[in-house]
């Protein structure tokens, strides 16, 4: 299996930016499709973004299109979520996810511990 560790969360002002990182270990990183989910207080876990094993295909949920970008660096065994023009409604715990085939809106095999993102108004 793969172990996932997120970092880069924190407190930012409305309109600010953060870059989340997810470092993977345990197997060859390029073996896994990767993604990001988030869970806000009182809400279900929500799909945010996904990227294919080779990085050529990405997807984003509608609420973050134009503001967030997912990318990966297989040489560094790391996936990133660049978050720009953050809004208070983006406040959530963000989770890194991995799957041997594909990360979808409803599935992933492996999960990180989460990192808190708080956007103040």
Q: Output the DSSP codes for 71-103.
A: EEEGGGTEEEEEE-S--GGG-EEEEEEEESS--
**Are residues 20 and 117 in contact, defined by beta-carbon separation less than 8 angstroms?**
yes
Distance CA 49, CA 28 (A): 21
Per-residue model confidence as pLDDT tens digits over 27-56 = 788 889 999 999 999 999 999 999 999 899
pLDDT of residue 29: 82
> Does position 26 have pLDDT exceeding 80, yes or no?
no
Phi and psi dihedrals of 56, rounded to 5? Answer: -80, -20
Confidence of residue 117 (pLDDT cuts 50, 70, 90): very high
């Amino acid at each position: 299996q793969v172990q996932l560790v997120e970092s880069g969360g924190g407190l930012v002002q409305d309109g600010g930016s953060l870059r989340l990182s997810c470092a993977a270990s345990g197997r060859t990183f390029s073996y896994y499709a990767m993604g990001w989910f988030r869970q806000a207080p009182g809400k279900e876990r929500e799909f945010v973004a996904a990227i294919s094993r080779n990085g050529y295909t990405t997807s984003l949920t509608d609420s973050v299109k134009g503001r967030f970008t997912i990318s990966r660096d297989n040489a560094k065994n790391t996936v990133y979520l660049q978050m720009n023009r953050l809004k208070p409604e983006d406040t959530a715990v963000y989770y890194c996810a991995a799957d041997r085939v594909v990360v979808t809106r409803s599935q992933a095999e492996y999960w990180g511990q989460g990192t808190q993102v708080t956007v103040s108004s």
